[in-house]
Chain A
Amino acid sequence: MAYRWGMVVDLDRCTGCEACVTACHAENNLPTVGADEAARGRAMHWIRVERYWEGEFPDVRVKFRPVLCQQCGNAPCEAVCPTYASHQNEDGLNAQVYNRCIGTRYCGNACMYNVRFFNFFHPQWEKPLQLQLNPDVSLRESGVMEKCTFCVQRIKAAKSAAKAEDRAIADGSLQPACAQACPAGALVFGDLNDPESRVARLSASPRGSKLLEDLGAEPKITYLHRQGWHESNA
């Protein structure tokens, strides 16, 4: 059976620490754009942690929400791409073919989650920072759109290793960089087609919901909301 990769983000575990953010940079060769470009809104973070203040001092609370590409089953970013650079692959992932992308940025406008990032210039690594680059991940040039791939290079490697041994990828043995780094274990990745996988079971949690679900993009990331404490829990 085909894989259908998905993720659960457990907001009850997430501490807003952002280990996931730097892990993604390191794994996927995201460029650091520098202060001037960042000030123009060009910083790239395939995963970001949104924070929402609620209430006023002193009765104030914060909610964190890691947001990355939701790997939509019915992805608006795909429908608008004139070159099919943004397309659905065989595992149900929204993939981006960099050398097909002509930089119209229609996809970036169509994505309601704001997770696509445009390369406004050639990325640079002041030497020898280029030594940190992951040889398994291609570099994107100026004029190309990019976004979270669920660490597709890891998926490919795990698939070919499993195929060579004629077995399926074991649940939990494959993780994107963000999930691997996350100290709190807030990010759970796996195959939604396997009903026994942790991600499939957690996706069915009554705490679960999807971002902007009513827009019909069929995101494959489920958010589990925080569990409240009441005297009766005790």
Chain B
Amino acid sequence: MTPMDRRRFLKVTAITGTSAALARCGNPEHQIIRFVPEEELTPGIAVWKPSVCPLCNAGCGVLARVMDGDAEVFRNGEAGVTRMGLPRKLEGDPAHGVSQGRLCVRGQAALQVTYHPDRLASPRRRVGERGSGAFEDITWDAALTELIGRLDTLVEAGNAGQIAFIGRPRRGRRAELVAEFLRRIGAPAPVAFEFFDDAVIRRANELSFGRYQLPTIDLARTHYLIGFGADFLGTWNSPVAHGAAYGRMRQGQPGTVTKFVQVEPRMSQTGASANEWVAVPPGTEGVVALGLAHVIMRDGLRPASAAGRAGAMVEGFAQGLAAFAPADVERYTGITPARIERLAREFAANGPAVAVIGGPALAHTNGLAQALAVNALNALVGSVDVPGGVLFTPTEVAPVGPPRSLREVVGGAAAPQLLLLDEANPVYASPPGWHVADLLQRVPFIVSFGAFVDETSVLADLLLPDHSFLESWTESSPESGSADAANATAPPAMHPLYDTRSMPDVLLDVARRLQRPLDPPLPWQTFDEMVQAPTTVPAMPAAPSRAPDTPRAWADARFDGEAGTYPFHFLPYASQALLDGSLAHLPWLQELPDPLTTAMWSAWVEINPGTAERLGIAEGDMVEITSAHGSVRAPAVISPGIGPTAVAMPAGQGHDTFTRYASGRGANPVHVLAPLDEPETGALAWSATRVRIARVGAADGSLILFAGATRERPDHHGRG
């Protein structure tokens, strides 16, 4: 078929909405196999099936609108067409305590995960050089025989300790199964890897409140809110739940107008909704919190003792934080003492008042100290576990727990002998100084369960694609987002399209077929059975669990790179559309105009107008960003939401290998990051790199804005 024919062919398909024409190239239409439908459907009638959005850890309950249609499928090793129930739209499940009938922009696009043209349809085995992307189809039998053989050999030789598992920080039964499998085979605990990981806030909450858990901010009932860098309405924590609560905060409290103050170095999408926006240098957000606490205690508005254990975690708190008087705060942040005094008075006078910190503010070497400062401020004004304050969602499932970090694997002397990968993409999302790709090259055998080939799974020897979430049992036991437990379990919303297998069932199958049985054996035969059986993991205790720790001293944030050579702070941030880049393969999200820049299909660098003028950079010009660790190029967006000494860049683009929609598009800010971390948790300090910038060329058309496209240009440089 010529390319021309093929295009025309797709056109017909799209317009008629039928798959009758979807024969493999060269096959006359009458040779298509039509399978007997596996379910009874009433044509044109929609049914709603529950599921859980898999795209982030918020765990929103969804309803899929399922209608009949013809789909190209694989059944018993043959391709053909069948009439089946197909999810056509996802909505929030009104009965779910986190989504409350709503979904975020990413959840709306989750449908495209299932229908993605580059989804892996069957198991594959590497044939070319590692990383070349050359794979061949293989049967499940052959694939599992190979995997089981390798596991048997390792177990037999007493090397089960060299089996590694890298997944995303998921919760729930799937995570429980993985942990139990590894424990019983004698392997170390799974590694949870995500670029925007929340280890710092969880650890801070454990120290301050005895809860190793993300907080829920009871926005709907708060009267005064201070955010420290947390993008809780966009990309952080549980954005649907917090978005819904935010709407009620604004217009659901008759007679009350809540003030929202956001403190951050670069205006986030969340900060854009603040009544008062306070710019501070990166890594000093916590100083503002300590300064507010200082004034509140100094003026006798609250005694230091009111902060209890959370106060006791902050060195000098009991003495009124003498080192954080308004003049000291000004030295750190440039905020005038009068403003600090005013904000402190407002915060203390307008209860219930709550503070929240997250995201970029914690991605510093002093991230833990910053979080502890905000926790103490909340405790000081009595805003923990009260309406309008910080809440902790009761969970039946233990939290992810301090996970094994990727650094332990990367930093270990020997590479693992066998690596199981479950959707994590550390090759794309780790700083160059971690040398993750080098490490993986030294692992003799890598198996990936992901549904797509990305920068990490392209290194795998076996691809064992999982079903999509709509084809699987799904469950959620949200860690945050609700005052009450909001657990959900749902059976598959559709039959699988392809020759894929549910990863938990593959693990259970492998476990059964090992030469030396697991000790003790896993108590479940199938994952369906497991999700319907009670968990084996003890519930998170409702009361603070650990004894108070020693107080932590404030530490100034450290930055990589000499200020002389690298004069700008480099501030990567989570993209509203693509998040950490794991969603860059979804065309709906690629074509979503970014909320603050209207950019689509693009990466960009945000530069302050004065800085741009000084450096001769115009909007769209290509700019090179260089740190001591690498450089990237991206077009400039002139933005008034960032100060003259910083530049910002969204995460998400710059994929080498991640489907036709994401590969070879834009640049990846992670490539310039220094491997600094927050020492207590080992979390990457991704806001801690300094860079220099230079114009390297005129606009090359790679910055695609929607704002210019409909003829209106509401604003260009913020002076419109």
Contacts and interface: CB of A to CB of B under 8 A. Distances in A.
B593 A49 contact: yes
B709 A42 contact: yes
B371 interface: no
B86 A131 contact: yes
B273 A16 contact: yes
Contact of B277 (A16, A18, A60): A60
Contacts of B88: 131-135
Interface string A113-142: 011000000111111111111110001010
B243 A122 contact: no
Interface in A36-56: 38-39, 41-43, 45, 48-56
B165 interface: no
A123 B17 CA distance: 12
A227 B259 CA distance: 10
A129 B595 contact: no
B116 A62 contact: no
A58 interface: yes
A218 to B, nearest CB: 21
A62 B267 contact: yes
A202 to B, nearest CB: 9
Contact of A22 (B248, B267, B592, B595): B592
Nearest to B17: A133
Given A26-B90, A57-B643, A126 B117 contact: yes
Contacts of B7: 124
A114 B17 CA distance: 30
Interface in A153-192: 177, 180-186
B14 A19 contact: no
B104 interface: yes
B57 interface: no
B14 A60 contact: no
Contact of B233 (A15, A33, A42): A15
A130 B592 contact: no
A28 to B, nearest CB: 10
Contact of A231 (B111, B346, B601, B608): B346
A45 B233 CA distance: 22
B595 A51 contact: yes
Contacts of A52: 714-715, 720
B349 A124 contact: no
Interface residues of B, number: 104
A27 interface: yes
A45 B706 contact: yes
Interface residues of A, number: 73
Interface in B680-720: 701, 704, 706-712, 714-715, 717-720
B246 A19 contact: no
A231 B224 CA distance: 11
Contact of B246 (A18, A130, A139, A184): A184
Question: Which of A61, A115, A139, A141 has the most chain B CB atoms inside 10 A of its CB?
Answer: A61
A80 to B, nearest CB: 16
B642 interface: yes
A32 interface: yes
Given A41-B708, A52-B720, A183 B104 contact: yes
Given A127-B117, A134-B88, A114 B710 contact: yes
A18 B279 contact: no
Interface string B17-49: 101001000000000000000000000100000
B640 A134 contact: no
Contact of B704 (A39, A49, A54, A114): A39
Contacts of B102: 19, 180-183
Contacts of B244: 183-185
B710 A41 contact: yes
A23 B633 CA distance: 32
B576 A17 contact: yes
A64 interface: yes
A234 interface: yes
Contact of B115 (A12, A62, A132, A186): A132
A89 B22 CA distance: 38
A146 interface: no
A22 B91 CA distance: 11
Nearest to B350: A234
B92 A57 contact: no
Question: Which of A54, A123, A132, A227 has the most chain B CB atoms inside 10 A of its CB?
Answer: A132
B239 A17 contact: yes
Given A48-B706, A62-B267, A21 B17 contact: no
A54 B243 CA distance: 23
Contacts of B665: 35
B15 A122 contact: yes
A135 B17 contact: yes
B269 A183 contact: no
Contacts of B714: 50-52
B17 A124 contact: no
Contacts of B250: 10, 12-13, 184, 227
A183 B240 contact: yes
Given A42-B709, A43-B706, A48-B706, A58 B279 contact: yes
Contacts of B72: 127-128
A14 B278 CA distance: 21
Interface string B234-261: 1000011001101110110000111100
Contacts of A229: 257-259, 275
Contact of B715 (A25, A53, A185): A53
Contacts of B346: 231, 234
B563 interface: no
12 contacts: A15-B233, A16-B272, A51-B596, A53-B719, A56-B640, A127-B72, A128-B71, A183-B103, A183-B240, A184-B244, A228-B257, A229-B275
Task: Identify the 7 closest CB pairs spanning chains A and B, nearest first.
Answer: A183-B243, A184-B247, A53-B718, A58-B279, A62-B272, A41-B709, A35-B601
Given A22-B589, A55-B640, A57-B644, 6 more contacts: A33-B591, A38-B591, A52-B714, A52-B715, A57-B609, A114-B711
